[in-house]
Amino acid sequence: MSRITLKVNGGAHTVDVDPATPLLYILRNDLNLQGPHFGCGLGQCGACTVIINGAAVRSCILPASAVKGEITTLEGLATNGKLHPLQQAWIDEQAPQCGFCQNGQIMTAKAMLDKNPHPTDAQIRESMNNTLCRCMSYNRIQAAIKRALEKPLGFQPPDTAERVVPLTHGAASGGSRASKKAVVA
Amino acid sequence: MSGNIPSQVEEILSTNRRGFLKTAGLLFVGMAAPDAPAADAPGPYPVVDPRKLDSWIVIHQNNTATFYVGKTDPGQGTGTGFRQLMADELDIAFDNTTCIMGSTDITVDQVGSGGSTAMERDSLPMRRVAAEARRVLLEMASARFGIPVDGLAVSEGVITVKADASKHVTYGELIGGQKFNVTLSGANAASVSGKAKTKTIPELKIAGKPMHRDDIPGKVDATTKWAVDVKLPGMVHARNVKPPYACAKLTGIDEASVKGLPGFIKVMNKGNYVAVVCEREEQAVKAARQLKTTWEKPATAPFPSSEDLFRYLRNAKPAAGTTPLQEGLVGNSEAAFANAAKTIEAEYEIPFQGHTAFGPAHATADPSNGQMTIYSNDMKTYGMRRGVATFLGMPQEAVRVVYMQGSQGFGRTAAEDAACEAAWIARELGRPVRMQWMRDEETAWDTKSPAFLVKMRGALDAKGNLAGYTYDALSCDYNHLGYNEPDTTLIAQLMGQRRAKPAAGSAATPSDMYAIPNRRMNGDVVALPAIWETPLRTGNLRDPNGPQAAFASESFIDEIAAALKADPVEFRLRLLEAGTGDDSGFRRARSIAVLKAAAQKYGWDARPSGKPRGAGKILTGRGIAYTFRGQSMVAQIAEVEVNRETGHVWTKRMVCAHDCGFVVNPESLRTSVECGMLHGLSRALHEEVRFNTEKVTSVDWVSHPTLRHADVPESMEIVIVNGDPHPDRPDLPLYGAGEACLKPTMAAVANAIYDATGVRIRRVPFRPERVLAALKAAGV
């Protein structure tokens, strides 16, 4: 065990741990943070992502003793109670399903935008490609990133989804061909 | 709160059980239901009585309402939908409501979630009790003002005398903090009812509107307390040590190999179940890796390798004691084949696919006060409560499950393993235990969606009509994990518990409304050699077995259309329109409607599939597939780019026409459908559990790949068909929407690959090496 001091979200915390302890466990269990999650412990999925010196880092495979620099977690993105534009865009796009991976998605996107404020669609896909989601909320996430960029959106927002009202009453008895008219709600 | 509950526990319970109301910039904390035990109650925890109105709804003095429902929301927005429906029936502003779900000691048992029944079925009692609360409140106001109920108007929780608008009273003023003391009729949570009628669909004002989900802000600002975040005084960390080979027998544990490790507490062992417990989490991870154990391999291989699986299935007989699933028998298919001008046959192969939850299994168990409290994201917490009680031999009332958010459900958390493990260790140690599976455990040992081998035959008559059709499926689903039936959990099997008979799952037959004059469909369950303690145990994965059946049937219909040189949309419409039989949901007409809506949205180019191949590196094509789940209809079109040099498939565009009846929340429906389509795409392109004859070798995101950002189509379009009350059918009810959207995707993509390349891929997933080999074999 040894004493390690970590700078996290503007504060300093000293913990007495095995220096090989992955940063993730200290953030979660000693600092009681709920943003970074355990997903694989292998650096493959991104659930545990934090930002250190501007880079998105997988805290599940980073020994605490190897941390050099200030750590920002999902808890540290909002400023003065105001959500980071990415967090707001995530809400506006209703990006999460279960949400368990979204820490990694948001933190990876932030690190990407901090380096490249105007990514192309291809650059977004490439930068985000190793951050996984099993609910498959990828399309929403990409839309949220683009929304945060205030780029024109290449899709219709959910509340203007086209509706087609296809049926005549007679169809209830079956067999009749449905007539269809398009109605945009 | 007070009593002997430590502050950490109080915080967890209050955060997840009392809901926060943001109203006019003020933060109100809802109160517990008067009838529900306080969050700090030491137990026991009797079942919440569904026949009491107070079990479902509490009105607070500040004119807000808290709804208590027996459902869980693993991330598709059902909780927000329940609030919409109940606020509508109660006539209270949506923003002045909150919904508490799933904890077994404070909510009625509505089973939890599963089967896409949340809106279709389980919202009905919620609506009835909310309508009853409104009726009772109107009667109270009637008594207060001395005016008959029909002289009163109600809006947003305020009752006003119609003839004198200066006379009004809020719900909160009438009953805030008090009990209704109203007994409902009905035998159980599904059937409870009051005297009030629910509103008709067109009368609903809040339901039907797009609403932001209430669980999302906490998930993006890190304030959500997840089940993985539970910390209790004295809590210790456990990790499993799984057998290195399937069905291996434990022959020795060298506890000295970990005894000196910092924080080490104990090795837990019974039968072949082994776990380590340490004070800190990283210590438990290390100890589990370091513990030396010896195992004896089984005398015979527990299963064939994944490369040999379909050869095995071809020679397999239906498992003993299983009953074939026979559905949709029409005419005499064998006579049709005897008279056929042409017969077309094809076999389709779908491998085991994992749930592979993004967050591996986890639960925390607290044995305090001689009770057992489980903190879990289980979809079916009520079943978990019974399961844990049975497993531990405790009375059910001594066990409660506190429902918290977690990684996606999709059926895995309806049959969750970690709770029994945490509870057993907690009781043995007398300390709260947090159990967390590692990635390799979850991917290798979670429940699997069963492999399917489907043989299909079609008989064409001399006029080119599809005169006969047979579907014969073998489903590798003989060791199905029951919903919290404790003797089917892994820990119980490893400890040596055996059911008298395995919990056989099922085969599945296609869901379509095609009118084929002679048709036979059959599904049989087959067993692998190993039944117990196997990592190839099966469990319900999102629309269990539906995607497998739809991959075969909708690929095959496409093959018939191609053989007849018919356009795939036109051919399907021809089969649909040939029939007149229907059911109460007028599935046939709605099937036709979704096919047409998808084709229209896509701008379908009517022509036979298998278009002339271009000379370039990238071949493009489009494919369609249609099916339904329950009463929810779905048609999907995939447009693919196939790289003929690498075999890589990119689905560039997806269109989905979706009809689930009345849509409660169009916004969450759209996002759920979109994500479901991509789940189907992931299963089409990537997912396959690999194993050799000793163990599962898919252990992480490299060896069991999943969809990634780069795979996402450039364009995803969703047409919500018949999503609003139809002017001619305002009574069209709510149908389930959590699963149908992924059912046709594998077939749509396979059909698109055929269109692009002229090569039919009958084996899932369409990984580059498989596609390239098929292209090469066909000379493409």
One DSSP character per residue, B591-613 reads HHHHHHHHHHHHT---S-SSPPP
Residue B23 confidence class, pLDDT cut points 50, 70, 90: very low
- Indicate the residue of A74, A128, A166 with minimum beta-carbon distance to B721: A166
pLDDT digits (tens, 9 = 90+) for A166-184: 333 222 222 222 222 222 2
State whether B716 and A180 contact (CB < 8 Å). no
C-alpha dihedral sign at B402, B404, B410, B413: negative
Mean pLDDT, chain B, rounded, equals 93
Domain boundaries, chain A: 2-159
Residue B655 in any domain: the answer is: yes
Last residue of a domain, one of B224, B241, B257: B224
State whether B407 and A98 contact (CB < 8 Å). yes
pTM of the full predicted structure? Answer: 0.93
Mean predicted confidence (pLDDT) in B272-298: 98
Q: Name the residue of chain B whose CA is nearest to A23's CA.
A: B282
Query: In chain A, which residues have their Cβ closer than 8 Å to the Cβ of B678?
Result: 136, 138-139
Looking at the structure, tell me whether residues B215 and B288 fall in a common domain. Answer: no
C-alpha dihedral sign at B478, B482, B487, B489: positive
Task: Give which of A159, A165, A180 to mutate to test B binding, by max B Cβ within 10 Å.
Answer: A165
**Which has the minimum average pLDDT: B106-110, B224-228, B480-484, B641-645?**
B480-484
Mean predicted confidence (pLDDT) in B199-215: 94
> Which phi and psi angles does B593 have, rounded to 5°?
-65, -40
Task: Give which of B221, B586, B662 to mutate to test A binding, by max A Cβ within 10 Å.
Answer: B221
Last residue of a domain, one of B436, B462, B485: B436
State whether A95 and B216 contact (CB < 8 Å). yes
Instruction: Kindly provide the residue ranges of all beta strands, DSSP E only, lying in B247-306, ordered along the sequence.
Output: 249-254, 264-270, 273-278, 292-296
Quick one: CA torsion of B223, B225, B226, B227, rounded to 10 degrees? 170
Residues 6+ away with beta carbon under 8 Å from B146: none
Residue B372 in any domain: the answer is: yes
Instruction: Kindly provide the residue ranges of all beta strands, DSSP E only, lying in B502-610, ordered along the sequence.
Output: 518-525
pLDDT digits (tens, 9 = 90+) for B457-473: 999 999 999 999 999 99
Q: Name the residue of chain A whose CA is nearest to B669's CA.
A: A158
Domains held by chain B: number: 3
What confidence score (pLDDT) does residue A170 get?
28
| Gap between the Cα atoms of B506 and B545, Å rounded | 8
- How many angstroms away from the CA of B214 is the closest CA of chain A? 10
Residue B557 in any domain: the answer is: no
Residue B501 in any domain: the answer is: no
Residue B10 confidence class, pLDDT cut points 50, 70, 90: low
Last residue of a domain, one of B160, B192, B224: B224
Looking at the structure, tell me whether residues B691 and B587 fall in a common domain. Answer: yes
Looking at the structure, tell me whether residues B260 and B402 fall in a common domain. Answer: yes
Chain A from 106 to 165: CB within 8 A of any B CB? 106, 124-126, 128-142, 154-155, 158-159, 161-165
CATH number at residue B236: 3.30.365.10
Looking at the structure, tell me whether residues B183 and B236 fall in a common domain. Answer: no
What confidence score (pLDDT) does residue A183 get?
28
For residue B622, the SS3 value is strand
Residue B325 in any domain: the answer is: no
State whether B222 and A137 contact (CB < 8 Å). no
* Domain A2-159 CATH superfamily: Beta-grasp domain (3.10.20.30)
Residue B636 in any domain: the answer is: yes
**Which has the minimum average pLDDT: B97-111, B205-219, B584-598?**
B584-598
Residues A47/A37, Cβ–Cβ less than 8 Å: yes
Q: Does A80 touch chain B (CB under 8 A)?
A: no
Per-residue confidence of chain A (185 residues) as pLDDT tens digits? 899 999 999 999 999 999 999 999 999 999 999 999 999 999 999 999 999 999 999 999 999 999 999 999 999 999 999 999 999 999 999 999 999 999 999 999 999 999 999 999 999 999 999 999 999 999 999 999 999 997 444 333 333 333 333 333 222 222 222 222 222 22
State whether B439 and A40 contact (CB < 8 Å). yes
| Gap between the Cα atoms of B376 and B405, Å rounded | 8
Please report the ipTM that was assigned to this predicted complex. 0.95
**Which has the minimum average pLDDT: B1-5, B13-17, B192-196, B262-266?**
B1-5
Residue B408 in any domain: the answer is: yes
Beta bridge partners, B227, equal none
What confidence score (pLDDT) does residue B732 get?
76
- Decide if pLDDT at B216 tops 50: yes
Give me the total of CB pairs closer than 8 Å, taking one residue from chain A and one from chain B: 261
| Gap between the Cα atoms of B586 and B743, Å rounded | 20
Q: Does A98 touch chain B (CB under 8 A)?
A: yes
Domain span including residue B631: 581-777
At B646, which amino acid appears? T
Q: Name the residue of chain A whose CA is nearest to B679's CA.
A: A136
Mean predicted confidence (pLDDT) in B646-666: 96
| Gap between the Cα atoms of B597 and B655, Å rounded | 10
What confidence score (pLDDT) does residue B344 get?
98
Looking at the structure, tell me whether residues B92 and B236 fall in a common domain. Answer: no
Looking at the structure, tell me whether residues B696 and B712 fall in a common domain. Answer: yes
